[in-house]
Amino acid sequence: MFLLRVCQALNEHKVPFAIVGGHAVALHGAVRGTIDIDFVIQWNKTNLLNAEQAINDIGLVSRLPITASDVFENRDQYIKERNLIAWNFYNPERQDEQLDLIISYDLGPNQSKTLSVESTHVPILDINSLIDMKTESGRPQDLADVEALKELSS
């Protein structure tokens, strides 16, 4: 399963991360379909470099001609001037294997909870942080996710 391969690679490279987006919504218990995996990391250059290596190790490549060093050094510019919120990676051999590293969010030390799926640690953003993140986005699908998550947490 692609999600587990991603988590195993990030765990092996010791990247503090959490799954966000549709997969996190589903893992919290709300019905939600999505193809790509969205995740966030604790933001620093080492974690970003390690995340890029982990992603490359499982056969994914950047959709844009940029590197982790480029993203780290130009993060504010990419967000403000290019509206680059997420750095997309895909598997050229399997188009259904895609992931987005959200670069506009910094994972705090107590914002995730870890599930164990087939002996793999799968950290997901905690429900309150996920609600805040999706509310801030304001996209229609994210606002629908917020309503579903609020129902779960009440």
Q: What residue ranges in 5-132 does DSSP mark as E strands?
A: 17-20, 37-41, 61-62, 86-91, 94-102, 112-117, 120-125
Left if phi > 0, otherwise alpha if psi is -120 to 50, otherwise beta: which for 14? left
pLDDT for 18-45, tens place per residue? 999 999 999 999 877 788 999 999 999 9
| Confidence check: pLDDT of 8 > 80 | yes
Q: Which band of pLDDT confidence, cut at 50, 70 and 90, is reported for residue 2?
A: very high
pLDDT for 121-145, tens place per residue? 999 999 999 999 999 998 999 999 9
Tally Cβ neighbours within 10 Å of residue 82. 10
| Confidence check: pLDDT of 49 > 90 | yes
Rounded-to-10 torsion of CA 23, 65, 92, 79: 20
> What is the Cα–Cα distance from 125 to 133, expressed in whole angstroms?
10
pTM for the predicted model, two decimal places: 0.93
pLDDT for 63-113, tens place per residue? 999 999 999 999 999 999 999 999 999 999 998 999 999 999 999 888 999
> What is the Cα–Cα distance from 99 to 14, expressed in whole angstroms?
18
- Could you tell me which CATH number the domain at 2-149 has? 3.30.460.40
